[in-house]
């Protein structure tokens, strides 16, 4: 089920300070999931670098778009995704307060 998904890690020495999962393509789209950065390393550009690496991976994999979902109250995350070219799109998830976003690659 997850065999073709990719996990990207940001390291500081031997310590993971950030991670992100990119799903395998479904209908020409991949999805970014579980973006995380260690609180002590926030503000260092790690999240931006991980999302950029995910977009590059998606482009190399031949997908046409990358999508993600984020809780409405995560304003900083939404602002980051908007800076990286994601726009709000029609929801594919029925959970209340979930913002769905997408970006062409």
Name the pTM for this structure.
0.90
Q: 100: which residues sit within 8 A by CB, 6+ positions away?
A: 67, 68, 69, 88, 89, 90, 91, 92, 93
Averaged pLDDT score across all residues of the chain: 93
Question: What is the rounded average pLDDT of the residues 76-105?
Answer: 92
Which of 19-23, 30-34, 65-69, 94-98 has the lowest average pLDDT? 94-98
The structural domains of the chain, with segments of one domain joined by +, span 6-104
Q: For residue 78, what pLDDT band results from cuts at 50, 70 and 90?
A: very high
> Which is higher by pLDDT, 91 or 56?
56
Q: Which helix (H) or strand (E) holds 67?
A: strand 65-71
Q: Measure the CA angle with vertex 49, ends 43 and 53; round to 5°.
A: 165
Please report the pLDDT score of residue 3 as a whole number: 76
Q: What are phi and psi of 82, to 5 degrees?
A: -65, -40
User: Mean pLDDT over residues 8-30, rounded?
Assistant: 94
Higher-confidence position of 37 and 2 = 37
Looking at CATH, the fold of the domain delimited by 6-104 is given as Aminopeptidase (3.40.630)
């Amino acid at each position: 089920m997850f065999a073709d998904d990719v996990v990207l890690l940001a390291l500081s020495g031997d310590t993971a300070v950030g991670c992100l999962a990119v799903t395998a393509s479904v209908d020409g789209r991949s999805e970014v999931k579980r973006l995380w950065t260690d609180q002590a390393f926030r503000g260092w550009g790690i999240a931006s670098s991980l999302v950029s690496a995910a977009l590059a991976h998606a482009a190399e994999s031949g997908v046409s778009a990358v999508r993600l979902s984020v809780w409405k109250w995560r304003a900083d995350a939404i602002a980051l995704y908007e800076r990286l070219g994601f726009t709000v799109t029609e929801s594919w998830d029925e959970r209340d307060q979930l913002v769905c976003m997408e970006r062409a690659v």
